[in-house]
Amino acid sequence: MISDSNFHLPTVDSTVDLQKPENKKLLDAAINVEFNICDHGIQKTLDLAFKKADELGLTYVNFMVLDSSFIKDVYQNQLKITLKEEHYLTVLIDPNDNDAEKYIEYAANNNISGIKFHPYLQKLCPETFSNINKLCSVAEKYNIWVAIDCSYGTDMLYELNGVQLCASILRYGFKGKIIALHFGGPKVLDVMSLMAQHNNLYADLSLSLSYWKGSSVWQDLAFSMKNLGHQRFLFGSDQPFIQFNKAVNDFCDFALTYDLSDEQISDVKYNNFNKFLGI
């Protein structure tokens, strides 16, 4: 049994590794769908992703939408998103959009469970944090979670920092559920320190577990789990940008390397996310 906290909408052949140079055209095509969902048909794109998750036998899935035009289009056209009971949707919000609060309210009332901010994609410098803090308060009012991309990289890695944004939101007094996506990569110890102080902060294991395999990041992640307990760490695949089976196998390697118990493995693979969902 697996529940996936971070499953992206583009679908490719499960045997294709988009990280290999020879698959760059397929990667570019997936990115095009990812950032331009409205151009590819909203419900059609969603349905293909839902079908993919079902084929993989997932229990509960949080689908990520990285096109900020998605919620605007849904709102303006009063679209009703059709989801299965086991499917959840998190949508990207532009904090500089004057109608962002309206979009969050509409999302909450139309089968959308979470909102997301992506610092390096959206160029969210600290100057934007006050707007984001206020929007997170709106999300808390409507009982929807907040997901922050905490991956680490690009040539603006010192200016754009998802972990710093998480700290700002928590310091502002946000009491809802917040997910530090990709667990911060090399900044996992910073995420751990925030999790130690704030019980409403969760860490998603997608992407970084595979990307930083073989580095000291794995040791720091294991240290974090040992010190905090494993209950707020969520399995995520980042499909298709990380091959789903690779994400699963890398987590199994991590569990073997750091001697996770069967109970801990089961909790990270599905129980923790199910509890996060209130199931």
Q: Give me the phi and psi of 180, to 5 degrees please.
A: -85, 95
What mean pLDDT comes out for the span 236-242?
Answer: 96
Q: Tell me, what's the pLDDT at 55? A: 95
Give buried/exposed letters for 19-56 (b at 16+ CB in 10 A, else e): eeeebeebbeebeebbeebeeeebeebbeebbebbeeb
pTM score, whole prediction: 0.96
pLDDT, tens digit (0-9, with 9 covering 90-100), for 37-85: 989 999 899 999 999 999 999 999 999 999 989 999 999 998 888 899 9
Peptide bond into 21 cis (omega under 30): no
pLDDT, tens digit (0-9, with 9 covering 90-100), for 94-137: 999 999 999 999 999 998 999 999 999 999 999 999 999 999 99
Beta strand 201-204 with 233-234 is parallel
pLDDT, tens digit (0-9, with 9 covering 90-100), for 205-237: 999 999 999 999 999 999 999 999 999 999 999
Instruction: Give the class (CATH, top level) of 4-276.
Output: alpha beta
pLDDT, tens digit (0-9, with 9 covering 90-100), for 186-204: 999 999 999 999 999 999 9
CA separation for the pair 140, 132 (Å, rounded): 12
Asked if 34 and 248 count as a contact pair (C-beta separation under 8 A), the reply is no
The single-letter DSSP state of residue 44 is H
Return the closest-CA partner of residue 211 out of 179, 180, 184. Answer: 184
Q: Give the torsion sign (CA, 238, 243, 246, 252).
A: positive
Q: Tell me, what's the pLDDT at 80? A: 84
pLDDT, tens digit (0-9, with 9 covering 90-100), for 5-33: 999 999 998 889 999 999 999 999 999 99
The count of C-alpha atoms lying within 13 angstroms of the C-alpha of 266, restricted to the half-sphere facing its C-beta, is 3
On the 0-12 / 13-18 / 19+ scale of CB atoms within 10 A, 84 is exposed
Distance of CA 215 to the CA centre of its chain: 22
pLDDT at 146 over 90: yes
Q: Parse the chain into domains and list their residue ranges.
A: 4-276
pLDDT at 157 over 90: no
Q: Tell me, what's the pLDDT at 233? A: 98
- Write the CB contacts of 83 (distance below 8 Å, at least 6 apart in sequence): 46, 50, 89, 111
Q: Tell me, what's the pLDDT at 158? A: 87
Angle at 165 between CA 179 and CA 277, to 5 degrees: 15
CB count in 10 Å sphere of residue 277:
16
Distances (CA, A) of 210 to 87, 105, 155, 231, 260: 24, 35, 21, 21, 17
